[in-house]
Amino acid sequence: MDGPVGLRNVSSHCSINDMDDFDLSRLLDKPRLNIERKRSFDERSLSELSIGLTRGGLDNYDTYSPGGRSGLNTPASSTRDSFEPHPMVADAWEALRKSLVYFRGQPVGTIAAVDHQSEEVLNYDQVFVRDFVPSALAFLMNGEPDIVKNFLLKTLRLQGWEKRIDRFKLGKGAMPASFKVLHDPVRKTDTLIADFGESAIGRVAPVDSGFWWIILLRAYTKSTGDLTLAETPECQKGMRLILTLCLSEGFDTFPTLLCADGCSMIDRRMGIYGYPIEIQALFFMALRCALAMLKHDSEGKECIELIVKRLHALSYHMRGYFWLDFQQLNDIYRYKTEEYSHTAVNKFNVIPDSIPDWVFDFMPTRGGYFIGNVSPARMDFRWFCLGNCVAILSSLATPEQSAAIMDLIEARWDELVGEMPLKIAYPAIESHEWRIVTGCDPKNTRWSYHNGGSWPVLLWLLTAACIKTGRPQIARRAIELAESRLLKDGWPEYYDGKLGRYIGKQARKYQTWSIAGYLVAKMMLEDPSHLGMISLEEDKQMKPVIRRSSSWTC
């Protein structure tokens, strides 16, 4: 995450009136951590929503019941009555509150980092949509939803701005990568400046921002039981605009979403162009979240029908073609090429010699994962943490695949977790391949930053996936590793090295999402019912993955 010191004024700079402002200054004055547990209300399965699309409104939501469980069969914490916060928790909350950004006296987000030692501010003083998600979850879990509501409304307003980059107009549904609040002490005015990619490294618009916005809107609704925000015409339109960008018909023969490098958490050139797993998993999750929140009116019904069709096609494609385990790796190793017609086994004409050597040693007998990318003559066998964790949380992964991902993490603990959770990608690309793939990017050198670096923020995603799969001991072990160093090291953005032993060479200190990710992981492990706001149960009506015997062999 980096960029120029100032954002250019490219049809994105104006002051806006705020009709939804509340006096939330009391957030900074809270005397102590509120650990009163709020239960998420029950989740209805996708099948209930996709069968008969004539039901209206948000009646598809279950009624909020304070004290009710999430319906995810997560066990209650064994330490419920003797919960003693780790000494780091208080420091983390203090640091998180210092990162709050105010617009006209009200908190609207958290800046990326509060690193007073860094000489370059770059864009770390802005509120990033993807970065704010763990902060938002922390506030929701702590019973402070208003800041999340403010953020959702502000970014929704920014979505409506005209977005131009070098005379080219972006789609109406595009959400900003980030925004900044400029305070004028003389005129006593606040102004919002949004960045839709026109100031980013590589000038790439974020594809993931819109998906995270929809996912966060559902998390807010699930946590609070407040249906009114999602029901507003503004939020309904916002969701439809985001999805219109993704569901439009074109030349692509795949249900996956074609994306450029730099469009996600990996926001620099790292060879993820095509159909990166992170975007596909987020796309799937956003579709399911929107399906539960869209009204069945004349405008929403058409979008809902498109979502249902896409979900079935996307799940079939991802579970079949992106999934890799020992058996599938052996099948690819024996592929024949230049096959034609519908009877082809090697449908993407992948050359077996293109399989990198490291995969054969990395793949355990038990375990598997969704690989990074699949496209004609190309399979990116790298492991990407965020995409696999979101696949579990969204139920893009079947229960069997989810368990296999956990098996892989346990079997390859040193490679994927090491001494500081958690590898964003594995393995690192080096030497000539690094020069070609990254364009000689000096920040993405081997085992650093996006190129095999270890990111503490991913701790919350791992913890959520562990709880959902019934493996809380994995999360507990990872959290203990983080607690041994995070506070002492000043909450770095990322760590370097094969084991994540060294603080990143250009890592910011007091990185907000490192702080928030730790808090969310701790609160979720202590009270697993929080999982309900960020997890979706498997849809029983979703077409099951076709077994290898019929899908991968003649």
**Helix and strand tally (H, E) in the chain?**
19, 16
* Peptide bond just before 140 cis, omega within 30 deg: no
> Does the pLDDT at position 282 exceed 90?
yes
Task: Give the lowest-confidence range in 9-23, 167-181, 317-331, 533-547.
Answer: 9-23
User: For 215-219, what is the mean pLDDT?
Assistant: 98
The amino acid present at 321, given as its one-letter code, is Y
Comparing C-alpha atoms, which of 488, 508, 506 is closest to residue 420?
488
Tell me what the mean pLDDT of segment 11-27 comes to.
Answer: 37
- Summarize the confidence of residues 274-302 as an average pLDDT: 96
What CA–CA distance (Å, rounded) separates 29 from 40?
A: 26
Pick the range with the lowest mean pLDDT from 106-110, 248-252, 311-315: 248-252
Q: Which sign, positive or negative, has the C-alpha torsion 455, 458, 460, 462?
A: negative
| CA 416 to each of CA 3, 113, 166, 353, 464: distance values in angstroms, whole numbers, following the listed order | 28, 25, 40, 25, 17
pLDDT number for residue 342: 80
123-136-308 Cα angle (round to 5): 105
Q: Any idea which residue has 């990407």 for tokens? A: 384
Measured between alpha carbons, how far is 510 from 517 in angstroms, rounded to an integer?
A: 12
| Higher pLDDT among residues 439 and 17, named by residue | 439
Look at residue 48 in the predicted model and tell me its pLDDT. Answer: 37
pLDDT at residue 84, as a whole number? 65
Residue 544's pLDDT band (boundaries 50, 70, 90)?
low
List pLDDT tens digits, range 445-467: 999 999 999 999 999 999 999 99
3-class SS at 484? coil
pLDDT digits (tens, 9 = 90+) for 176-191: 999 999 999 999 999 9
287: left (phi over 0), alpha (psi -120 to 50) or beta: alpha
Q: What pLDDT is recorded for position 351?
A: 93
| Mean pLDDT for the chain overall | 85
Between strands 178-184 and 189-195, the pairing is: antiparallel
- More confident call, 105 vs 540: 105
Mean pLDDT, rounded, for 231-249: 95
Whole-model pTM?
A: 0.84
Q: Is a pLDDT exceeding 90 seen at residue 203?
A: no
User: Confidence class of residue 119 from pLDDT cuts 50, 70 and 90?
Assistant: confident
In a 3-state reduction of DSSP, which class is residue 113? Answer: strand
Question: CA 218 to CA 231: how far, in whole Å?
Answer: 11
Residue 509 CB-half CA count within 13 A: 10
* Residues counted in the chain: 554
Is pLDDT above 80 for 421?
A: yes
Which range of 112-116, 204-208, 514-518 scores highest in mean pLDDT? It is 514-518
pLDDT recorded at residue 553: 39
At residue 165 the predicted structure's pLDDT band, cuts being 50, 70 and 90, is: confident
Q: Is the pLDDT of residue 31 over 70?
A: no
Q: Any alpha helices (H) in 205-297, and if so which ranges?
A: 208-224, 228-231, 233-247, 277-293
Q: Would you call 113 exposed, middle or buried from its count of C-beta atoms within 10 A (0-12, 13-18, 19+)?
A: buried
Banded model confidence at residue 168, pLDDT cuts 50, 70, 90: confident
| Per-residue pLDDT, 41 | 34
Phi then psi dihedrals of residue 409, to 5 deg: -60, -40
Between 285 and 12, where is the model more confident? 285
- pLDDT at position 122 is 85
23 pLDDT exceeds 50? no
Strands (E) across 265-393 are located at 323-325, 368-370, 373-375, 378-380, 383-384
* Residue 249 pLDDT level (bands cut at 50, 70, 90): confident
Mean pLDDT of 289-307: 95
State the pLDDT confidence band at 82, using cuts at 50, 70 and 90. Answer: very low
What own/partner pairs with CB < 8 Å and gap ≥ 24 does 256-261 have? 256/280, 256/283, 256/314, 256/317, 256/318, 256/374, 257/207, 257/283, 259/207, 260/204, 261/202, 261/204
| Residues 416, 421: Cα–Cα separation, whole Å | 8
Residues forming beta bridges with residue 169, ordered by sequence position: 164
Residues with Cβ < 8 Å from 262, sequence gap 6 or more? 200, 201, 202, 204, 268, 269
Confidence of residue 169 (pLDDT cuts 50, 70, 90): confident
Cα–Cα distance, 363 to 286 (Å, whole number): 30
Q: What is the mean pLDDT of residues 273-292?
A: 98
The single-letter code of the amino acid at 544 is P
Instruction: Check if the beta carbon of residue 88 is closer than 8 Å to that of residue 483.
Output: yes
From residue 261, give the alpha-carbon distance in Å to each of 207, 268, 279, 448, 525.
Answer: 10, 7, 11, 18, 34
pLDDT value for 162: 76
5: pLDDT strictly greater than 60 = no
- Reported confidence tier of residue 341, pLDDT bands at 50, 70, 90: confident
Query: How does pLDDT run across 360-393, given as a tens digit for each residue?
Result: 999 999 999 999 999 999 999 999 999 999 999 9
- Cα–Cα distance, 117 to 508 (Å, whole number): 9
| Residue 440 buriedness (CB in 10 A; 0-12 / 13-18 / 19+) | exposed
Angle at 82 between CA 78 and CA 87, to 5 degrees: 110
pLDDT over 70 at 30, yes or no: no
Question: How far is the C-alpha of 26 from the C-alpha of 24, rounded, in Å?
Answer: 5
Position 543 confidence tier, pLDDT thresholds 50, 70, 90: low
Q: What is the pLDDT of residue 68?
A: 34
In the chain, % of residues over pLDDT 90: 71
